[in-house]
Amino acid sequence: MDKFSFKDVLVTVAGLFITVFIAWVLITATGNNPSEVAKYLYEGGFKGTRNIANSLYQATPLILTAVATLVSFRVGMFNIGINGSMYVGALYAGWAGYRFTGLGHFSHVTLCIAIGMFVGAAWMLLPALLRVYAGVSEIISTIILNFVAVLFVSYMANGPFRADPIAPATPRILETAELKQIFPNSQFNTGFFIAVFVAILAHFVLNKTTFGYELRSGGDGLVGMYPSRFSSYLGIPSDRSAITGMLISGALGGLAGAIEVLGAVRYFFQELEFNQGFDGILIGILGKLEPIGAIIASLFYGAIKNGGFYVDYKTDVAREIIIVLISILIFFVSAQKIVKGLEKYPIVKKLDSIFSRKKM
Amino acid sequence: MNKEIAIDLKNITKAYPGVVANKNVDFQVYKGEIHALVGENGAGKSTLMKILYGIEQPDEGEIFVNGSSEVISKVETAINLGIGMVHQEFTLVPSFTAPENIGLGQEPKNNRGLVDWKGLNNAVMDIAKKYGFEVDPGLKMIDASVGVQQRTEILKTLYRNANILILDEPTAVLTPQETDELFTVIRTLVDEGKTVIFITHKLREVMEIADRVTVMRAGEVQGVSETGNTSITELASQMVGREVFLQVKKDEAQPTEKILDVQDLWVHDARGLLAVKGIDLDIKKGEIVGIAGVEGNGQTELVEALTGLRKASKGKVMYLDEDIASSSPKNIRRKKIAHIPEDRTNTGLNTQLSIWENLIGNSYFRKPLSSRGIFNLKKVGEHANKLREDFDIRAPNVSLKVKSLSGGNQQKVVVARELSEDPSLTIASQPTRGVDIGNIEAIHEQLVQMRDEGGAVLLVSAELDEVMAVADRVGVMYEGQIVKWVNPKEVDQAQMGLYMAGVKD
């Protein structure tokens, strides 16, 4: 409610302009042609069915990890460990994908996803309990668990779940466990619709149900507030909210990993690398901690990311420069002081009062 | 009278998004006077002082200090001009002593470049002696009383050569005795040639100490008068814009059956020390029981134990026929016990949430606000907007975050929520803290109305005036015990001050 205002739009646009300017300078300085880069960035992100499909594919896990982030933030917990949940969710969804035979397509996919989400949630149980019952900062424990997750899945892919004698990888999942790829030559798959559905569901639960209200009563800001005096004062058990929020967050991370394996990669291997759990934190914040905002920000981010791959493929510019650009953009967009500084201009004040009018 | 002008603010205008905090404000302070600046919350007093102290910049207007035009773009400029400010929230390092706090940032150095502690101590003690302050140079602020902390703050401004002192609601945290001591200090300061601007909303104090008074309302100056030529009633109506009744209008209480019976209650505080030491207390339907006392004498722990936020160590809390000692806040709330907590920003509200989300904290689960766990946002909006109107919460809509409201309006959100669900017993702790005079009146009326409709109220307040005016019976708390029960009609302020200081008959 009352979250997106004209100022935010203005800052985002201003941030875009500054980013474009800095990009121009950087690309020119590295001896490349900025307008060419811009062209390929646009084409890679938005031009043609295949590129659009790939952009949406890139956005899929980001939507889920961004929602995972914002759910935890809004219950007052800072879950930085979504990447870990994503890894373990991917591993076990992949395991379920080859381990259970003789199932129908729908039931097999559902089972794999359920297992991935369950494992992702279970991964967050320890930091949640440590926070609630021992006062260990969830920021620290979840960061540590990210490293543990990488080593754990690497061990599992190399040991117990290893199938291939040459490469450390699990067997390929069965066809019944696959999320269908819709377009030729693109890893875009039906997982995208699951991600969008889950984000909309999260929007409904957080904002329109008493369960969501109880979860949010202890947090709802960019400040870790657990344990919330307000919740316990109202008779809402804030411990339970904190644990529930962390488990939901972990389950969504696990789901992101499961969709990657079931829809795109189709098996789990030691070198499989995820960083969407971290990108999700930025995107969650960029989307103002609202699930709908997370969808929009993820689509944007996914398009730029895919555009970056295309630039990398077509020119000499390394795709890392795209990551630099995205970082600069987020830096400016989240610069709250700039927003405050703008308030003194009458035109901004006026437009703001027009655009942020509310219903209730 | 010496009419040399120390501060002259001319035609100051300052607008924030959606609100004009100061509108063409003229504000003049004579050299050597005590000038009170009064007004409701949000009237613009703080903004005006922030402008004078360089924290905020005016959109329009001029500032003259001692006759010369100045642009005060930052606090350092104000300090160099001899302006000092003592904020309502103290800015002291708790683990430092008074001299360490006073010297912080402007420490005298010895010839090796190290802090000259002895010189600092001497300088501080010299200033203290000159103005008749008592300072214990070895006492850390964490162990010092609020009064001592405040004097340290004043010394800090004097150490920085302030000639014009701005005191922002200095008496809000003081006992009557400490207030008297502060007034003595202020008079000494003025005798030594200092000028004092005294921000408050307690009009009795204005009449007692100030030479002149400027009243602000809704960002504009309503009037400037000499205290000799005005009255509390006149100032109050200037502040509020209408007649206010300073006395709470109420009939004799008609207590019926006992609703709460506290027997030999003992409670430990957060540090594990005994804070409540064997309290007996009962409340009947149809009466308001007051607890007076200087803050920190166990009132917080008493209220927390009664409302389930803190476990009782020993004793019983009988509510009707059931012992609710150490019951959960949820169970206690289900029994129609409302709680207005003393700490509004962390306990009473989640300031990150919107107004409506804060208003439904005790009703979100019932029909028609929600059904089967899903909100009916239309009904929720109606409910929240009705409370906003009934309790005069000044906000353009209920979707705004609570943190954007002024302190007084935030308090109204808490009071509105707690009184809205028809409670049988209301436990109100500092219910009018930071609330302005017109709304204090409204909250008091609501508590009395609660009582007249057969409800019971426990009113815990550090404001002696409030307890004496609203409660039907008053217990004075001192060091974890109720040292005296009085009928508020039969004792005077001075007598109460003594009880609050622990003096028994």
Please write the tens of the pLDDT for every residue from A65-86. Answer: 999 999 999 999 999 999 999 9
Arithmetic mean of pLDDT over chain B:
89
Confidence grade of residue B43 (pLDDT, cut at 50, 70, 90): confident
pLDDT in tens, A183-231: 988 999 999 999 999 999 999 999 999 999 999 998 887 777 788 889 9
Is the pLDDT at A239 greater than 80, yes or no?
yes
Is the pLDDT at A1 greater than 50, yes or no?
no
Which residue numbers of A have CB closer than 8 Å to B's CBs?
A: 1-2, 208-211, 213, 216-221, 223, 225, 228-237, 343, 349, 352-353, 358-360
Ranking A170-179, A335-344, B297-306, B313-322 by mean pLDDT, the lowest is A335-344
Residues in Cβ contact with B153 at an 8 Å cutoff, skipping those fewer than 6 apart: B86, B87, B90, B91, B92
Confidence grade of residue A348 (pLDDT, cut at 50, 70, 90): low
Is the pLDDT at B258 greater than 90, yes or no?
yes
Q: Can you tell me which residue has the tokens 């613009």? A: B44
Q: What mean pLDDT comes out for the span A334-340?
A: 62
d(CA B391, CA B52): 33
pLDDT in tens, B371-396: 999 999 999 999 999 999 999 898 88
Q: Is B331 on the interface with A (CB under 8 A)?
A: yes
Quote the pTM value: 0.77
Confidence grade of residue A343 (pLDDT, cut at 50, 70, 90): low
Q: State residue B2's pLDDT score.
A: 53
d(CA A310, CA A105): 34
Q: Can you tell me which residue has the tokens 């424990």? A: A141
B343/A232 Cβ within 8 A: no
ipTM: 0.85
Ranking A285-294, A338-347, B146-155, B268-277 by mean pLDDT, the lowest is A338-347
Arithmetic mean of pLDDT over chain A:
88
The helix or strand, by DSSP H or E, that contains position B478, with its residue range, turns out to be strand B473-478
Q: Can you tell me which residue has the tokens 């028609």? A: B368
Q: Of A1, A211, A219, which is closest to B399 when you measure between CB atoms?
A: A1
d(CA B320, CA B272): 30
CA angle centred on B335, ends B329 and B337, rounded to 5°: 70
Q: B302, exposed or middle or buried, with CB in 10 Å at 0-12, 13-18, 19+?
A: buried
Is the pLDDT at A232 greater than 60, yes or no?
yes
Q: Of A211, A230, A359, which is closest to B350 when you measure between CB atoms?
A: A230
Alpha helix stretches (DSSP H) within chain A: 6-29, 34-46, 48-74, 82-99, 105-134, 138-158, 191-208, 210-216, 229-234, 238-259, 276-286, 291-314, 320-333, 336-342, 346-355
CA angle centred on B468, ends B462 and B472, rounded to 5°: 120
φ, ψ of residue B480 to 5 degrees: the values are: 85, 5
Confidence grade of residue A4 (pLDDT, cut at 50, 70, 90): low
Q: What is the DSSP string of B85-144?
A: EE-SS----TTSBHHHHHHTTS--B-TTSSB-HHHHHHHHHHHHHHTT----TT-BGGGS
The helix or strand, by DSSP H or E, that contains position B494, with its residue range, turns out to be helix B493-500
A229/B346 Cβ within 8 A: yes
Residues in Cβ contact with B112 at an 8 Å cutoff, skipping those fewer than 6 apart: none
d(CA B53, CA B120): 25
Q: State residue B435's pLDDT score.
A: 79
Q: Of A208, A236, A343, which is closest to B17 when you measure between CB atoms?
A: A343
Pick from A74, A234, A288, A356 the residue to mutate for testing the B interface (most B CBs within 10 Å): A234
Which residues of chain B does A74 touch, with a Cβ-Cβ cutoff of 8 Å? none
Is the pLDDT at B243 greater than 70, yes or no?
no
pLDDT in tens, B77-118: 999 999 999 987 788 888 899 999 998 888 888 888 888 888
Is the pLDDT at A34 greater than 80, yes or no?
yes
Q: State residue A107's pLDDT score.
A: 96
pLDDT in tens, B11-31: 999 987 667 889 999 999 999
Question: Of the candidates B467, B358, B461, which has an alpha carbon nearest to the alpha carbon of residue B410?
Answer: B358
Most confident of A114-123, B306-315, B473-482: A114-123
Confidence grade of residue A358 (pLDDT, cut at 50, 70, 90): very low
Q: What mean pLDDT comes out for the span B475-479?
A: 91
8 A C-beta contact, residue B415 and residue B391: yes
Q: Is B417 on the interface with A (CB under 8 A)?
A: no
How many A-B residue pairs are in contact by the CB < 8 A criterion?
A: 93
Residue B291, SS3 per DSSP: strand
Q: Is B18 on the interface with A (CB under 8 A)?
A: yes
State percent of chain B over pLDDT 90.
52
Q: State residue B476's pLDDT score.
A: 93
How far from each other are the two terminal CA atoms of chain B, in whole angstroms?
A: 45
d(CA B35, CA A236): 48
Is the pLDDT at B505 greater than 70, yes or no?
no
Which residues of chain A does B339 touch, with a Cβ-Cβ cutoff of 8 Å? 233
Q: What is the DSSP string of A191-215?
A: HHHHHHHHHHHHHHHHHHBHHHHHH
